[in-house]
Structure 1
Amino acid sequence: MSLSLESALAELRGLQAMLNEAAAEAQEVEEGDEVEWQAQRLLEPDHCSRLSVADLGGALAVGYRGSEYEGWGEFLELLGRPGIAPHIVQLCISGPDEGANGLKEWDFAPLIAASPDFSGLRAFQVAISDPGDHNQACVTEDQLPALIGSMSALRTLELPQAPEPGFFALDLPALRRIRTGGDWRTRGFIAHLAEATRLPALGFVDFTDSSAPFLSLRPAEAPEWDSTPFADYERLFRSSVMERAWGIRLRNARLSEAEYRALAAIRPQCQFSVVLSAPHVYVSHWGKTDFPHRHLLPFG
């Protein structure tokens, strides 16, 4: 079943009422207490799940900001309805940093099961955690290849973690930019990218290496929890992928100055920059716990 753009827009705009109802049900608001509950809820509007929809003139830009629990299921159910996804050219997912240290996990299983037609989607973003956040944003393990597989026309992609190796088996002929946030594992992203053959238009890579070295003074127990080795970066810079690309940005790579300069020498025409965006560390923990902190003191 196909829907007109106007019908799809109307359904998406109607979702906000559903999100508000879902929030009330989750909090078990009793009849007669709705007004007081709503007044308290609006004191912290950033914690209210909300949907933004813009008609760009023939296609839709859709954004969800809110909880990965309350309202999330309703949002995915609507995206999975026949006729909605084909009209969306931009899809952005984000939410506030809530609760104690842990994960902010986005589970796309219901949407993947619905097999929506995202053939018109050009930009997909799941927000990357800020280094000062208490919770690490992520997409449920092993879901990214199946999810992105329905987005064959993507031009820009931003993810809170490096995707699994299955990502590189996807045909993404129009993908021009990719940015990945960093969690505790790299999933061999750089090594796989060096061998990639299905990303012919890729022009810019923004990769965040493992955060593990910034979370413990002890060496990683397994390679998958460690930083990307220089040899993998070197293979990437010598690959046909970087021969076509115009730029690369590395965040939190555990490389020496000599290694950075060696990579730059391989591709002197490539815009190559480096960023340090390590996770925050409480000052009260400096020197008393297993958390490194010297990298936070570049001025002594």
Structure 2
Amino acid sequence: MEKKLLDLQNKIYNYHNSKEYKYDIEYSPRISFSKIGDLYEVIFYGQGYDDDHTVHSYNLEPEEFNFGFCAFQDFLIDNPKQIISLIFNGPDAGANGTRDWNFNRIINSNVVFDNLKKFKVALTDVGDHNQSVIGEYGEENGMIAKLVSKMPNLEELELPSAPDESFFELPELKIQHLIIQAGYDHQNFIENLSNSSNLLNLKTLDYTEPFDHFGDLENEEFTSFDKFQKLFESNVFSIENFHIKLRENRINEEQLEKLQKIKKIQLLHIKTEPAKYVRI
């Protein structure tokens, strides 16, 4: 497996290093890996767009900038059994302020990651210029549910987009730790979670509402307090010592105290002030 991974890295490097386009350590794609017993944690660094998932990476035209991401996905499709952890990260780069992570190549394959325990895609930092999201052209369209359906033993999931309701229609999941940033649209995540019955092993939840970078979002774009109240009244937090982090919402101190009284769990509320450019 080590030889396959090193060969893949060399192919990615050679493809993205030419006389016209020198390899750039800040932006050019690469992989790194760690051996964990007989399994591997693999980290991809680069951009996550895929113009045509039906074209195998080795048939892409020369100088296609997304070769690294496509080649890595094709590698995973051919070598799923030895992967225990998958992490996707990359530079603060995108198109029109959006950094898409498009996993249609994996979704439209027959691959199943039987041993995968952790799946993480880069979150958006409050100082980023580009919003990181799962999907195609900024639309999630059930991509997360389709991905997770190929990961039957997943225990930790970290994503920069909220899944739609189809995620909560999957058969019982083994996820214990869930970190979700809502991205551009919370897709009724909190309400869908409160109605769910497929996350019985959940121990921690870290949930971020849509980023209000410049303080210009309307209240309607955030989850209302009554939806959070419904979640706390549900059976989702049935595990003892459940820990929840809520970020970037419009809940006030009085409402937070009310939530804490409903369910005696560890509740951490995290708020970031809107950013602003300093004018000269």
TM-score bracket for this pair, using the shorter chain length: 0.7 to 0.9
Find the counterpart in structure 2 of residue 171 from structure 1. 171
Amino acid at match of 1:137: S
Matched, 1:72 2:69: yes
Query: What is the number of residues matched between the two proteins?
Result: 257
Q: Is the 8 A contact 2:47 2:101 kept in 1?
A: no
**Which whole-Å CA distance do the structure 2 matches of 1:183 and 1:173 have between them?**
23
**Shift in Å at residue 251 of structure 1?**
0.3
Find the counterpart in structure 2 of residue 127 from structure 1. 122
**Which whole-Å CA distance do the structure 1 matches of 2:208 and 2:76 have between them?**
29
Matches within 5 A, 1:95-174: 95-98=90-93, 102-140=97-135, 141-142=140-141, 143-174=143-174
Query: For each residue in 1:8-63, what CA deviation from the matched residue of structure 2 results, as whole angstroms up to 9, or x when unmatched?
Result: 33222211111113313xxxx4xxx48xx64xx3xx52323111122111111111
Find the counterpart in structure 2 of residue 294 from structure 1. none
**Which whole-Å CA distance do the structure 1 matches of 2:107 and 2:159 have between them?**
17
Matched, 1:62 2:42: yes
Find the counterpart in structure 2 of residue 204 from structure 1. 204
Find the counterpart in structure 1 of residue 60 from structure 2. none
- Aligned-pair identity in percent equals 28
Matches within 5 A, 1:1-300: 8-24=1-17, 29=18, 33=19, 38=22, 41=23, 44-68=24-48, 69-81=66-78, 84-98=79-93, 102-140=97-135, 141-142=140-141, 143-212=143-212, 214-215=213-214, 217=216, 219=218, 223=220, 226-244=221-239, 246-268=242-264, 270-277=265-272, 280-284=275-279
137-146 or 168-177: bigger deviation: 168-177
**Which whole-Å CA distance do the structure 2 matches of 1:72 and 1:172 have between them?**
30
**Which whole-Å CA distance do the structure 2 matches of 1:87 and 1:200 have between them?**
27
TM-score (normalised: structure 2): 0.85
**Which whole-Å CA distance do the structure 1 matches of 2:47 and 2:94 have between them?**
11
As a proportion of its length, which structure holds more helix?
1
Q: Is the 8 A contact 1:171 1:199 kept in 2?
A: no
Q: Is there any run of 5+ residues in structure 2 with no aligned partner, and where?
A: 49-65
Amino acid at match of 2:178: I
TM-score (normalised: structure 1): 0.80
Q: CA RMSD in A?
A: 2.1
Q: Is the 8 A contact 1:230 1:259 kept in 2?
A: yes
Q: Is the 8 A contact 1:128 1:159 kept in 2?
A: yes
Q: Is there any run of 5+ residues in structure 1 with no aligned partner, and where?
A: 1-7, 286-300
